[in-house]
Structures are given as C-alpha cells and as structure tokens.
Structure 1
Amino acid sequence: MKTNTKQLRVCQVVASINEVVGGPAYSVTNLAQSLSELQICSHLFTLDYQNAGKQVPTINVNVHSYSATKLAKYLRGFQPSANYALQQIASCELDLIHNHGLWMFPNLYARQAAVNNNLPLIISPRGMLESWSLRNSWFKKLPAWYLYEQQNLQKAIAFHATSDEEAKSIRQLNFRQPIALIPNGVSLPNLSNLPNREILFKQFPEITKKKWLLFLSRIHPKKGIDNLLYVWKKLITQFPDWHLIIAGPDLIGYQAKLEQLTAQLELQPRVTFTGMLSGEQKASALCNADLFVLPTHSENFGIAIAESLAYGVPVITTKGAPWKDLEGYGCGWWIEDNQQALMDVLIEAIEMPESQRQAMGLKGRNLVETKYSWSVIAKDMASVYHWILNGGSPPSCIQVNE
C-alpha cells in the first residue's frame, strides 16, 4: 500500500459532474475542493457528458475529465481509453482512490486502478444500495452485480455512508468493512446578498403574486412528485394564493408523464415546471420559497433538503430521507411516505403564520451551519484517509462491524 510522507494524494472517481446529474456532481466536487484546502493533493476523475450541461467547476483540484464517447453514453460509461488514463494516474500520482456511486463503468475502473496499483479503495454508494434503488431497474442491475459490482464492493477497504440508514443498507448486504458515517456538506449562502423574486417572474409570470411551495430536485419516480400532484389537487381551492413550483433536471423523460398528469388533474394554472435551475435562478427559487417539499421514496442524504435549510426555508420530507433532524431542530416536518400524511402536513404548514415559518427556517440555517458545513465534512473525511493509510485509532465517525 503506497503512502506519501509529504502530501496525501487522493482521487475522487465519479461517473459525471455535469450539472444536470444533480446531487453527486455537486457533493463530490465540493468534497474534492474542500480537501484541497486541507493541503491534500486533490484529484477528480470523471467523464464529460456534454449533453448534460456544464461540468461543476472546482478550484485547486486536478480534474481528469474525458469527453464521453457515443458508446460511453449508451453503455453506462464504457470507455477503455479513460480506464487506461486512470490506471496511469493511479500508478504514479495517488495514495488512495475514493469511488462515488455504483453501476457505471467508471466505478469498475476505480476498483481496477486500486487493485492493480495496490491502493486502498473507499466506496460511497451514494444511495444506490438502498432497497428502493435496488428494486428500481433491477433487471439492468442484476447482470452488473454479478459481472463487476459485487466484486467492486468486496474490494473496498472501507465504505462512506451519508446517514445511519445508508450504513444499515450496506450491512444488510453483509459487507463487513468499516463504514465512515459522514453526511454531505452544504455551501452556505450569504443571506444578506440574495437574489429577489423578480428574477423568475419574466420567465414564469404565473408565480408573480403567489406564495411558493417549492420542489427542487431531480425529476424521477423515486422523488414522489406524482403523490405531490394528487395531494395538491385536493388543496388548491383551500389555498388559492399558493403556487407549486417543480424545478429540476429530467434525465429519463419522466417530466412529460408528470405534465400529462398535471393536465388530467386540471392543475396547469397552479403548477409550474421550470426545468433545471442554476446560478441566480436557483438561488432565487430557494431563498424566496415559503416552503420546500420533497415527498421522496428514498434518499441516502437529500442534498436539496440541506440546501433549502441553508437558505432558511422550512422543509417537508418523508421518512424515505434520513432527516430526523428536521423534528429535533424544529425546522421542518418528517412524515410517513403516503398521500394522507403529506396532505395533513401541507395544511398545517400553509396555515401556519408566516413569521412562524420564517423562525423555523432560521433554525434550519443554524442546523446546517452546525453539522453540514464543508469545512467540517472535509476534516472528517481527511481523518478517515489518514487512518486508512497510517493506522492508529479509528476516527469517531468510523463504525466497525463487531
């Protein structure tokens, strides 16, 4: 196992950091950048899917990005030339490889580079071992499991989980390696310099004089958006001054089905699909929302929840997301994953005085500052890397299987 007495050299491997991919693109790049601020030589290996938006930028990170070929786009990132490049990087520039995500060929390349160069491999499943995710498209995942994914996971010297629930999912599959329990981090916006509501009015005039119920995440069946639409149908006459905004990228064509459902429910005047928002538009949506809702069936973390809290917006989410802290810190609602529970809590939250919602939002901001700042996350992750390479007592974030 290679060690470097001067500066620790770590490579984050992730299938994509293109904006449209959502959560992992931001969490992995922010981790790499935050590690560089701790004097770690920080590398990042990825493919560039140019049809999926720009790549998330980084500072002081050695980004090894390779344009995805047509074959890679249609065959889960299969790109032998990129595999060869990662092998070369690992042979002379790295002490440790940290792989993020499953089921894609770059995740296989990470294991091969680690094994061939005698480097330790850490794997962050990024929610892809949750029971809901395993059931979804299982017929595609089963061949990958037996061809390479099971072996990838077996070769990991340790796992990284972002929640207790994700750690339990790893153990349920009988993997016995140590697990680093470290949440995702959140970039904290400056609340004294935020964009106003008008940024979105020109493109979406129907939201101008309304209060905003915001969904902002990937448009995907696991997010429970259909449940949200069915519930919203029952509430629109009761709350005519509220408007549902559904924002986020659509990688699989699911938004068309949701728009069809919206039309069937005659909800078009009260629902706006914005597509993916970024930059000032995303910040405007988050900081001017009155409530944030993510009725998800499964999340390993839920970065959109943390982002909303960072902007001081109270959150409604289900127990499919590991956010019990919403109740403990008084900054939101953590409910059962069904339509009745969602309707009951929406009525409670909307009828609440605006000042009370704002007070809840400030408690959420305090939660994020305390537990989820990137500086805290990076220090914990760095301590795990050093422990793996140098031994000694395990960091407090490590769970060892008894």
Structure 2
Amino acid sequence: MHVFYPIGTFYPAQSGGPSNSVYWLAKALVRQGVKVTVVSTDTDQPDTTPRDQWLSTNAGRVRYVSTRRHNLPWRHIGQSWQVLPSTDIVHLTSLFYPLSMAVAVLALWQKKQLVWSPRGELAPAALSIRPQLKRVVLRLIRCWTSRITFHATSPDETAQIKTQFGTNVRVVELPNYLELPAPYAPSGSAPCAPYLFYLGRLHPIKALDRLLEALALSSAFQNGPWQLRLVGTDADGYGATLRQQAKTLGLSHRVHIEPPVSGEAKQQLLAGAYALVLPSHSENFGNVVVEALAHGTPVIAALGTPWAILAAEEAGFWVANDPAALGATLDVCLSLPSSKYAHYRQQAMTLARTQFDIDTNSHRWLSAYNSLIANLLITPLCAE
C-alpha cells in the first residue's frame, strides 16, 4: 500500500495541528510496513530543512517544495502530479486550501482513492468566514462526493459532513492520534505561581474574551493566587484586544500573553499547569487537549469542542463557554480537594494513553485504508 499526503505544512513546521498529526500518523504507518510519501510546502520550515529534494525519513519519503506564495503553491501541485500515478490512497487535510482542490481534481481524474479531512472547516463558526467563496467550493465538492471518503475526528464533525454533503456520504470517524510526550519531570527550580493555561492561536474563534470575563466572575480565581497564561501566535491583533479587556476587568497583573513555545518548554508549561482551558466557540479536535491530558493536566473545554468525554471520565470539565457557566466551572475546578484533584490527574493521564496514543491505535487507520482499497468501507467506520 502506498499512501500519499499532499499537505500545506509538515513537521518540523508548527503552524497547525495537521503538521504534527499527519507526521505522527505517517511514522506509525511506516512502522507497519506502509509506503508513505509526503509533499509539503516549505512554509514555516527552519533554514536547516533541505528544500526541493527527496528525503528518507522515519515518516516515509518527504519533499519540502520551495514556495513563494503559500496559497498558490504551483510547484507543489506539479510535484504532486508526478507522485500520484504510483499511489493507492491520497489523503488531503483541508477542504478550502487551493492545493487540496487542485490535487483532488488530479487524483479523481487518475481514479485514485481519495480521503479528505475537513479539519474543523465545516463548523458553523468556520463557515461564517468568507462564506461566499466557501459556498462555491462546497458546491464543487458535492459533484464528487460519490468518489470521496471523508474523515471526521468526532461525531459532531461527522454530522457537519453529512449536513453539507448528504447522509449517504462515506465517512471514517477516527480521532487524531498523537505521539504522546513522556510525563514531564520538573527540574529543581523554584515553582512559579499556580496558573491556568491556554495554548494555541490568539483568535476570536477561541473565545478567550469569554474566558477573561469568566475569570472576573470566579471568586475562586479572584481570591486565590491564580494566574492565566495565554501562549500562542497573535492573529489579527486579538492579543491587543485581550490586553485591553484584562485591564478593564482589573486582571492585567494576573493575565499574561506570551509568544509561542515548542519542544521541552511547551511540555513544561503543559505539565506545570493546574488545568488547560479551551473555551473555543468551535474546534474539530484540539491536539493540545491530548497533550495536556498525557501529562495528567485536567482540561476545561467548551461545548463547542468535541470533548464530552472529559466529564464522563472525570478527566476535566465540558461546559458552555458563556462567562457565567465558565466562571462557575472554574470555581468548582479551582476548589477541588487535593485527593479529588489527584483523581482527575490520574484519569487524565489514563484517558490520553488508552484512547489517543498513536502507537496503540494506528492500526485503526491501516484497517480503514485497507478496507477502502478493497471497497469494503461502510458509512460510518468508527473506532470501537
């Protein structure tokens, strides 16, 4: 079997969840004897990454194509055209990225099995951004749905796919599986003030303004030593908006907006947090949730994210992201007795390692790909 991933950015780039999740999946498939080819732009690659040559890696054969304009990666499309004839499965990771549209047309013309992951792009909040253009793209994709297998990471995303493309479309529903970090062993340095943590883009869809309002309503936060650390890339000046809001709410000294981190620094922040907070209006998954859980860090996630399992497994909380409800949940979380909090931490770690570890779950993707090649895939194919 030969699986091809044409993608906008790929590890070691850190500009989006698929950069890592596709990398982890590709590595796991290679370990199971699958031939994997990845073609990516060189967007966000370090200077040390070789460009425009095939690299033999633990994630298969990888090529980073020099790209001047990320949204018009013509040379990437040309390279993908050369790879397509030898592939069995073509797996795309965005509906609206021009590269995906171009490669989808080429793959269907060559009668390749096509798997397409929307990656949250069909959520109502996401569709509200540039809606006219997206309606045109969706109309085109509807012409091809009989020849596409869609991938959803949650039941909500499966429902979104069927709403857009019809109830009879083929859907494989599997979460993102991660290469989980080892539990972080803290150094002997003095501990910092206890903090709540957010890691990701600073963007209005993440509803961080609601989190700040919730903090102002939380007596446990206000009366305790707590800090909030917001770590990530600022998008469209949202960080400045949050700083002004924190000042207005009297929280400037307790809310810290920090630049993106990676590697050991990222793991240290995840492991050291009292809880990760993901108040987003919409998320199709959220890799950072699994990364936090793997360190035993409980998670507070909004109802717009697919994380009902947090409450069911007592690994965190799943709550509406209106400030009153979120503030009340913060009061409960920050007031947990030490024994109950320790229980949440253990449950968090167990949940991550039993249900989201790529090493123990990648066989589900191999089974899905094999079924697709054998034309045995039914709708939906879900992990049990």
Report if aligned partners of 1:114, 1:121 keep a CA contact under 8 Å in 2: yes
**Residues 1:225 and 2:208 aligned together:** yes
Q: 1:184 maps to what in 2? A: 176
1:95 Cα deviation from its structure 2 partner? 1.2
Report if aligned partners of 1:197, 1:288 keep a CA contact under 8 Å in 2: no
1:133 Cα deviation from its structure 2 partner? 1.1
**Residues 1:287 and 2:271 aligned together:** yes
CA distance in 1, matches of 2:48, 2:321: 34
CA distance in 2, matches of 1:94, 1:359: 47
Q: 1:40 maps to what in 2? A: 34
1:196 Cα deviation from its structure 2 partner? 3.8
- For structure 1, list consecutive stretches of 5 or more residues without a partner in the other structure: 1-7, 202-207
Q: 1:157 maps to what in 2? A: 148
Shift in alpha-carbon separation, 1:149–1:393, aligned structure 2, 3 A: closer
1:44 Cα deviation from its structure 2 partner? 1.5
Q: 1:262 maps to what in 2? A: 246
Match of 2:198 among 198, 203, 215: 215
> Normalising to structure 2: TM-score of the pair?
0.89
Q: 2:349 maps to what in 1? A: 365
Q: 1:5 maps to what in 2? A: none
- After TM superposition, the structure 1 stretch with the greater mean CA deviation from structure 2, 353-362 or 364-373, is 353-362
Q: 2:163 maps to what in 1? A: 172
4+ long deviations beyond 6 Å: 51-55
Structure 2 counterpart of 1:327, one-letter code: A
CA distance in 1, matches of 2:235, 2:58: 27
Shift in alpha-carbon separation, 1:134–1:392, aligned structure 2, 3 A: closer
**Residues 1:122 and 2:105 aligned together:** no
For this pair of structures, how many residues does the alignment match? 374
Report if aligned partners of 2:171, 2:379 keep a CA contact under 8 Å in 1: no
- After TM superposition, the structure 1 stretch with the greater mean CA deviation from structure 2, 350-359 or 179-188, is 350-359
Q: 2:61 maps to what in 1? A: 62
Report if aligned partners of 2:9, 2:43 keep a CA contact under 8 Å in 1: yes
Match of 2:231 among 242, 247, 265: 247
- After TM superposition, the structure 1 stretch with the greater mean CA deviation from structure 2, 288-297 or 261-270, is 261-270
Aligned residues: CA RMSD: 2.6
Q: 1:49 maps to what in 2? A: 43
**Residues 1:9 and 2:8 aligned together:** no
Match of 1:99 among 84, 92, 103: 92
CA distance in 2, matches of 1:252, 1:382: 39
Q: 2:336 maps to what in 1? A: 352
Structure 2 counterpart of 1:353, one-letter code: P
CA distance in 2, matches of 1:274, 1:167: 35
Report if aligned partners of 1:156, 1:177 keep a CA contact under 8 Å in 2: no
**Residues 1:31 and 2:25 aligned together:** yes
Report if aligned partners of 2:215, 2:222 keep a CA contact under 8 Å in 1: no
CA distance in 1, matches of 2:239, 2:223: 25
Report if aligned partners of 2:281, 2:302 keep a CA contact under 8 Å in 1: yes
CA distance in 1, matches of 2:289, 2:76: 34
1:398 Cα deviation from its structure 2 partner? 4.8
1:229 Cα deviation from its structure 2 partner? 1.1
CA distance in 2, matches of 1:351, 1:125: 38
- For structure 2, list consecutive stretches of 5 or more residues without a partner in the other structure: 50-54
| Secondary structure of the corresponding residue to residue 11 of structure 1 | strand
1:165 Cα deviation from its structure 2 partner? 0.5
CA distance in 2, matches of 1:51, 1:393: 36
